[in-house]
Every structure is written in structure tokens, then in C-alpha cells.
Amino acid sequence: DFEDSASPTWCNMVYGQVNLYDAIRNQIDFDTPRKSYKLNGNVANLPTIIVRPRGWHMVEKHLYVDDEPISASIFDFGLYFYHNAKELIKLGKGPYFYLPKMEHHLEAKLWNDVFCVAQDYIGIPRGSIRATVLIETLPAAFQMEEIIYQLRQH
């Protein structure tokens, strides 16, 4: 969860991505002087990983494109998707996302466009990405059907 459960510091965001990368490849571990931790079993047999990128209203101030900070949503999604989508598909899973703070069906359309471009770019079938949306605002409640329609491929 890159949205609410972590302070959006550069260190937290990057290490979160590293941990996801390592977990998907069964190479995540953590050692303390008293104990060692690692995954029990193969990631293919563990619960499904669903990534929650930061909302559209946030920017990642550590990465600029054309002298503008990149969208935090695109940063979180892009790093995770680019480095892990093909590996997840090999495992019989896929890149799954939980999209936060959706307020309008055009935000869902933007996510759909991002998903389509990303899938085409790395050469995986459209529809490989799956997404769920949290409806937590009144405007979104009135546009639920439109939001679902915009994300129907995913």
C-alpha cells in the first residue's frame, strides 16, 4: 500500500518497490541479531499481491519529466508493473491493483488508458491487469457504473 499506510518518503517508496520485487521472486528476507525472517513457501502459492498506488492528487517530487514532478500514481504503478508484470504472469498470477480515491469516471478512464499503454509497451495481452476501486466519495458513488464501465477490460 503506497497510498495510506506508508509515509511517502523517497526511501519508503523505493524500498516498498524493492520488497515487492524480492517477494515475487522468493528472495525477500530480513535478519536481526536474534531472528531471521523469510517467506514460507513459493510466492505462487501465497496470497495474491494487490498493489495500491498513491492517488492522482499526489506527485513524486524526486522524479521529474520535462521539468515537472511525475504523478505519484504513475511512478508507483510504472515501477511495479515494469519490473514485475511478466514474472507474475509466469507464476500464473498477474499485476493486480487497488485504485484509491477515485472521484470521477474520467479518472477511471485515465487508469484504463495507462493500463492499455503499459500492457502494449511490455508486450502482454490487454486485460492482464486487474483493478479494483474503492468508492469513498459522494461524487464517485453517483458515478459507480461509469467507473466500472471505464475499467471493464481490467
DSSP secondary structure letters along the chain: --SSSS---HHHHHHHHHHHHHHHTT--EEE-SS-EEE-SS-GGGSPPPEE-PPPTT-EEEEEEETTEEEEHHHHHHHHHHHHHHHHHHHTT---EEEE-S--SHHHHHHHHHHHHHHHHHHT--TT--EEEE---SHHHHHTHHHHHHHTTT-
Evaluate if pTM is beyond 0.75. yes
Domain limits, the chain? 10-150
C-alpha cell at 80: 511495479
Q: Using 50, 70 and 90 to split pLDDT, how confident is the model at 28?
A: confident
CA angle 43, 48, 52 (to 5 degrees): 120
Average pLDDT over residues 78-92: 95
Residue 149: count other Cβ atoms within 10 Å of its Cβ: 13
Q: Using 50, 70 and 90 to split pLDDT, how confident is the model at 45?
A: confident
- The phi-psi region of residue 53 (left if phi > 0; otherwise alpha if psi is between -120 and 50; otherwise beta) is beta
Question: Does pLDDT of 85 surpass 90?
Answer: yes
CA distance 76 to 79: 6
Q: Using 50, 70 and 90 to split pLDDT, how confident is the model at 146?
A: very high
